[in-house]
Amino acid sequence: MWRSWSSRPTRNSAWPARHGSSCDAHEEYRSDRRSPTGSRAPRRRGMIAMQDRFLVEEQFANDFSGLDPLTIGEVVKLLAQPGVILDAPKLAGEWSKVLLGLSEVEVPERDPQYGDVAWRENAVFRRLAQAHLAWAQWLDGVGDEAGGTWESKERERYVKNIVTSTLSPANIAATNPAAIRKAIDTGGKSLLRGGRTFLTDVLKNGGLPRMTDTAPYEVGENVGVSAGTVVYREDMFEIIHYTPSTELVHERPLLFVPPQLGRFYILDLAPERSLVEHAVSSGMQSFMLVWRNPRKDPQTGDGTWGIDDYVAAVVRAFDVVTAIAGTDDLNVLGFCAGGFTSALAQAHLTAKGRNPVHAATYLVTMIDTRRPNLVTPLSTPGTTRQIEKLAKKNAVIDAQRISSHFAWLRPQDLIFGHVINNWLMGEAPRAYDLLAWNDDQVNLTARFIRDATRLMGDGSLVEPGAVTILDTEIDLTALTADKFVVAAQTDHITTWRPCYMTARLLGGETEVAVTNKGHVQTVVSQIAKSRQKFWLAPADTDDPDEWMAGAQEIAGSWWPVWSEWLSKRAGDEIASPEALGSRRYPPRDPAPGRYVRE
């Protein structure tokens, strides 16, 4: 057993999930659009003809793109499996049916690549689509290693989705009927516009198409607009104190802890779509921790920020908020990595003999990684070596590189749908606030990536005392605060079953809500005109599927149920404070503050 995570040899280290960057905004923007193979996966932008995965990754050791574990070696390994060769006649038979017009392969109507009607009504294009989809379905069904681990199977699906999504005839102007029709209707101007857009994206967007028009959105103007003021600022974070909107507020304050991997205003996206707004209108004294975007200038020292630094920062935030509210304790809401960090802060304080958190909410927060998820399977020794090298250099990873990696997690929705719209059709991307937030990326320190992946890589956090943070042994089972755990049924990063297990890992009474949406849309769960539903029940079993079978299905947003749960744990009602902050922590800049603009 090891005692310090910072010196522990790693097993199954993996890139941490980014709630904001691998944005599932397309769950709403492109509802019900799915991969023909049903999988989600990122893709390496440059493939090298080399079968040895580790040699390839070593070659990219000084480039963040090398952190992506996929190489041509993985593809060769997949295609060389005996099952691929033995099952090839089945594919040949289906292709024969396609050629003769007898295939029953369905071309989906709601699909980012095959949405145009010509893919179903034109005989030539229907055959092209059916041939590709038949191949994707065939590849999805072959090559699975008998008795293989779930990690190996997930990694295989990861590779399959890359190959099939990339090699679609819809991605080529000459074989895309919508692009051809558009070019004819515009006299070729659509191709010229698309060509200019392509060159711009190559030069300014890392070679990927823009997902949305961000121009209409400005933080503090029409996104992130909840009234408040910055009451605390230090090098790593700011704290916003929000203006109450009710005459009475609950005595115990609520602190939001967003992920380090995205801008905080996903929790305060827009009026009627803001969880902060809902909390404030429910009488909660609400505060927001705003992480500073790590600067790439080595003189700032931001590259030294690791998990210890972030946990210590959360502890300081606890102290500031309770001092302003004049209380001994507080409630906390952590989103994804923010929930992960706040849980570690609570465990650290508990080991020190105090824990000021009375009740905790965890949104799509995965701590126990022993059940299928997207984090663990993408771990390789090669990625571990490269992250370690960058961490030793105190490197700060550029936001654009991070964004491109997470975009490849869902290539059909986040890449090729926009390739078709922007490059082949010559259309401008649509304006959409959730995608604009997704485009507003942040840097990450290599040390944080290294530390988070070590902690999550092999599930050691579930073992009391196996991990040390800030010189204290971490025992998450010792946390006694009541919990409200929210998971997302279609989350492709922190999948819902491991998130459910967060409720079983931590102590205290627990309520669990599983929404029918994805990672980010679960947070933006507006009440009015809600198309969501969720399942609700206490976490009374270690089997997530057994829990789901017995949970109550409820139509609408989970926000009202959560705020009612929280109000019972938020203390007595008192008169709203006449001023924000306190004498020790006076008001500074108006919300949304300074750091969100860096």
Residues classed as catalytic: 336
E-state strands within 156-300:
228-233, 237-242, 248-250, 254-257, 286-291
Query: Is it true that the peptide bond before 294 is cis, omega within 30 degrees of 0?
Result: no
Question: Shortest CA distance to 406 belongs to which of 43, 47, 12?
Answer: 43
Q: What angle do CA 55, 56, 57 make, to 5 degrees?
A: 95
CA distance 330 to 570: 8
Looking at the DSSP bridge assignments, the partners of residue 512 are 485, 537
Residue with the two structure tokens 């090098």: 235
The backbone torsions φ and ψ at residue 550, rounded to the nearest 5 degrees and listed phi first, read: -105, 0
Residues 191, 308: Cα–Cα separation, whole Å: 51
C-alpha to C-alpha distances, 337 to 253, 313, 344, 505, 549, nearest whole angstrom: 21, 14, 11, 16, 28
> What DSSP element (H or E) covers 534?
strand 533-538
Residue 64 has φ and ψ, to the nearest 5°, of: -60, -25
DSSP for 498-514 reads: HHHHHHHHS-S-EEEEE
- What are the helix (H) ranges across 246-367? 275-281, 307-325, 337-351
Using the structure block, give the residue that is written with the tokens 């996929």.
70
Distance of alpha carbon 166 from alpha carbon 150, whole angstroms: 24
- Rounded Cα distance between 39 and 159, Å, is 9
For residue 276 the two structure tokens come to 């902060």
In the chain, the amino acid numbered 483 is: K
Reported residue count of the chain is 598
In sequence order, which residues have a C-beta less than 8 Å from that of residue 512 and are 6 or more positions away? 484, 485, 486, 487, 500, 503, 536, 537, 538, 539, 547, 551
Burial of 268 (0-12, 13-18, 19+ CB in 10 A): buried
304 neighbors 394 (Cβ within 8 angstroms): yes
DSSP state for residue 430 in the 8-state scheme: P
Closest CA to 244 of 276, 283, 289, 278: 283
Distances (CA, A) of 192 to 43, 116, 188, 212: 27, 21, 7, 20
Distance CA 176, CA 181 (A): 9
Q: How crowded is residue 559: how many other Cβ atoms within 10 Å of its Cβ?
A: 20
**Would you state the structure tokens that stand for residue 59, as one six-digit string?**
């070659």
Query: Helix 307-325 to helix 446-457 angle, to the nearest 10 degrees?
Result: 90
Please answer whether residues 377 and 17 qualify as being in contact, where contact means their C-beta atoms are separated by less than 8 angstroms.
Answer: no
Q: How far apart are CA 451 and CA 390, in angstroms?
A: 12
